Every structure is written in C-alpha cells, then in structure tokens.
Structure 1
Amino acid sequence: MYPPRDSGWEADDLDLLPADAPRHIELLDGALIFNMSPQRSWHDRVIRRLTAALEPLAPMDWTVEAQMTVKLNRRSRPEPDIIVASVPYAPERTRFLPEEVALVVEVVSAETEDRDRRYKPGLYADAGIRHLWRIEDENGLPAVHTYELDDTTQAYVATGVRRDRLDTPVPFPVSIDVKGLVR
C-alpha cells in the first residue's frame, strides 16, 4: 500500500482503504501501523468483557465501542481497544473525534506495549481526552491503571491501580470486578 499523496497518509485516508486491507490499522504521525500479530486469548477476553461491563453502566445516548479509531488530528488516528464516547450509537460511524471521547482503554500486549504505555497516552492527552485506562497482564490477572487529564499541565496523572475492583465516579459511575474480566 502506497500513500495517496506526496505528503503521506492522513487520517481520512483510512476510510478509503480497500476492503481486503488488514482490519486493525492505526495511523500515528502519518505512519500506518498494522497490528498483525495473533491476538492472545487474554487480550481478547479483557476487551470483550470490559466492553460488555461498561455498556449497561454508560449514560443513555453514550456509546461503548471496541477497536474503533479516534481521529486526533490530520495525521494521527489510533485505535484504542475500547472507546467510551458521549455520543449516541451511529451504525455507519468509522471513527470518533476527541471531543466525543470521554475514555480510552488500552489493553497492553507484547506487540503494542511501547505504544500503549508511552506514545499513545501523549497523543490522547494532547487531544484533550479526559480519561485513560491502561490494562496490564500481571501473571494472568488484569491490573487497571487509571489516569485523568490534568487541566494545568495537559498531561495525564495517575489516579490508581485496581487489581480487585474498579470503583470510580468518572467518566460515569463504574463498579467492575477486575479479576472477573479474565475468569
């Protein structure tokens, strides 16, 4: 696949990729990132179960989506594992805008650990996304690291690590059995 212009790939180009293109493609600073490694069962289970747990807790007319992209700017459109957005479900939607997104969740895998831990949080913070959860595999059990955007520094600050229960009032009241995400 070649960029459609001399200046490289742009966020809206992802909607124009051929139907036979790989399913999980991110655009980070104009570079296409293909997530091609086989997904571990642990990673898939955490995404599915957390999405299912968040859906009934989300306010009316909010959307919880797994593996959709966020158009952060002209040259970056990452694909968090889960997005919680303050907009209603739209069946034809292909991406979200940062001002619609209340929470992004990254479930760290071996292939994505550097991007999920170091690179993408900076992009999300720069775009003004208020909440970030990063889920790590600790000996087969999930650990949810929660962050909130600091208005003064425009950077994320850690608000806790949850290994048993995730109880938080933001972005809406959430109470989830963390260990139950994999058992």
Structure 2
Amino acid sequence: MKTLAKWSVDDYHRMVEAGILQGRRVELLAGEIVEMSPETPLDYTTAKRGAKYLEELLAGKADVRFNGPITLSNSEPEPDIAIVRLPESTYRDRHPFPQDIFWIVEVAKTSLKKDLELKAAIYATAGIQEYWVLEHLVAKQIIVFRHPQANQYTEELTLKDGGITPLAFVDISVSVQRLL
C-alpha cells in the first residue's frame, strides 16, 4: 500500500512562490494537490454572470470574489464564487480565511461528484456556514448546504426556482433562475 505525502498550506504557498506549479491549474484539497476540472465557456459564463448578480445584490455588504483562492487549515481551494467580509483591502496580503467567508458557490461542471462530496466535506470541516452548488447543465438546480457539524452539513435543500435567502443576509433574496 502506498502512503501519499500530504502537503500543508505553507508547503503549497512555497511551491507557488517558487514557480513549481506555474502554468498548472491546481488547488490544494485536504493536503493533496489536485488538478482543477476544465472549464467550458458555459461554466465560466454562468459563474461570472452569477458573481456579477451577487455583486449587485450585496453592494456595500460583502465582497464577491470570482475564481479566487481561499485559505483553510489543510486546503486552498479556488471556488467559483466566494462571498466574504469587507473591506476588500483585507485580502491584499492573504486570501480569505473561514471566519471571513459568508458562503461559497461552486458551478458544477465535470466536477459535480467532487463538489458534492470532497469540497462539501472540506467546507463543512472549515466551518463555512453555507455552500451552494449550481448544477446548471442537466438538472438545472441549486443544492444548498447549511449548518456544518464536524465534516458534513446538517441541512441540504434542492431548489429549481424561487429565491434563496442567505443565512448571513436575511434581508436579501437571491433568484435561483438568475444564478442558473
């Protein structure tokens, strides 16, 4: 049986700074350096359009980050959208930490299994209160995970229409159709 070496976030940062990972689309997930799924034009457009929509809704309330890293204890994933605390200047010298994050949105592409299982466990373990997976190709639905406990979320909702009120912003309703 092989034993894989696990990488720390500091190890990963040193590899990035040294240029070892240059030109590769990777992220650190649970101590492993993982190739990111290829992004189709539709996936990219869906994520970018969703980020713009959320920026409009959350203007002055949160920073909406698009395709940027977040730093967790043993992972540095690059979610499609991360809604984080203001001010944006906080992230000049570091990526957002779990306590900075209101919620995460992933656009499920070829990565649906990874998004629903591995990333959900990573985000729940980090204590991120809410995580949305946009499954826009086949099912046209949003899977909403809330209330992490240990390494899993205790609540899971599937929405095909209507609105979602984020836990962090009870005065806002996000249109499911606009995100999909």
Partner of 1:145: 143
Q: Quote the offset at 1:42 in angstroms.
A: 2.1
Change in 2 beyond 3 A, CA 1:68/1:93: farther
Please list every run of 5 or more consecutive structure 2 residues that lacks an aligned counterpart in the other structure: none
Residue deviations 1:76-95 (CA, integer Å, cap 9, x gap): 11111110012311263552
Change in 2 beyond 3 A, CA 1:17/1:81: farther
Partner of 2:165: 168
Amino acid at match of 1:35: M
Instruction: Determine the C-alpha separation between the residues in 1 that align with 2:60 and 2:157.
Output: 27
Identify the structure with the greater strand proportion: 1
Identify the structure with the greater helix proportion: 2
Work out which of the residue numbers 6, 9, 16 in structure 1 matches 2:7.
9
Q: Quote the offset at 1:175 in angstroms.
A: 2.9
Partner of 2:60: 60
Q: Is the 8 A contact 1:69 1:94 kept in 2?
A: no
Q: Is the 8 A contact 1:145 1:158 kept in 2?
A: no
Partner of 1:44: 44
Q: CA RMSD in A?
A: 2.7
Normalising by structure 1, report the TM-score.
0.78
Identity %: 24
- Secondary structure in 2 matching 1:104: strand
Amino acid at match of 2:47: I
Q: Is the 8 A contact 2:50 2:178 kept in 1?
A: no
Aligned pair count reads: 171
Normalising by structure 2, report the TM-score.
0.79
- Secondary structure in 2 matching 1:95: coil
Change in 2 beyond 3 A, CA 1:93/1:82: farther
Partner of 2:71: 71
Instruction: Determine the C-alpha separation between the residues in 1 that align with 2:166 and 2:106.
Output: 19
Q: Quote the offset at 1:169 in angstroms.
A: 4.5
Amino acid at match of 1:163: K
Please list every run of 5 or more consecutive structure 1 residues that lacks an aligned counterpart in the other structure: 1-6
